[in-house]
């Protein structure tokens, strides 16, 4: 099973594998991001739209390559599916949060404080 949806500022791609649910969030740029070129020169509106569309296509290609690389890693036996896709696994009972969305703030805090949060501590201390 797979699904995707788009809003003005993001696209979401979801799929299931065995009992795992995976979600990728693909941020989308705005046309205002392309008002000027890399040298700071203002683009005409038609060129802004063309640059925006090109950037969107590039983002979709990058996501496709990332997912294909992860699947190849799993197929080659380098990592298990759940290891390779862990940050993108949707957690049950967490209102659709992925493991990355849930754990990353805790990991960042542990690096800042030097202490593991209770959820990440080892049962043996």
Are 84 and 101 in the same domain? no
Cα–chain center distance at 114 = 27
Same domain, 65 and 84: yes
Structural domain total, the chain: 2
Pair 104, 121 in one domain: yes
Q: Which residue range(s) make up the domain with 112?
A: 91-125
60 shares its domain with 50: yes
**Residue partners of 2: CB distance under 8 A and separation at least 6:** 13, 14, 15, 16
The predicted-structure confidence for 6-21, as pLDDT tens digits, reads as follows 988 999 999 999 999 9
96: left (phi over 0), alpha (psi -120 to 50) or beta: left
pLDDT higher than 90, residue 125: no
Per-residue confidence band for 25, with pLDDT thresholds at 50, 70 and 90 = very high
83-105, pLDDT tens digit by residue?
Answer: 999 999 999 987 889 999 999 99
């Amino acid at each position: 099973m797979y699904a995707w949806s788009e809003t003005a500022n993001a696209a979401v791609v979801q799929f299931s594998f065995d009992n795992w649910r995976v979600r990728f969030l693909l941020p989308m740029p705005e046309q205002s991001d392309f008002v000027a070129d890399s040298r700071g020169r203002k683009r005409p509106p038609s060129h802004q739209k063309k640059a925006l569309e090109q950037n969107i296509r590039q983002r979709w290609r990058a996501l496709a390559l990332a997912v294909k690389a992860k699947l190849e890693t799993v197929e080659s036996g380098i990592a298990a599916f759940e290891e390779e896709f862990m940050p993108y696994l949707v957690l049950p009972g967490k209102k659709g949060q992925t493991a990355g969305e849930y754990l990353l703030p805790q990991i960042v805090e542990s690096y800042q404080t030097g202490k593991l949060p209770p959820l990440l501590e080892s049962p043996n201390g």
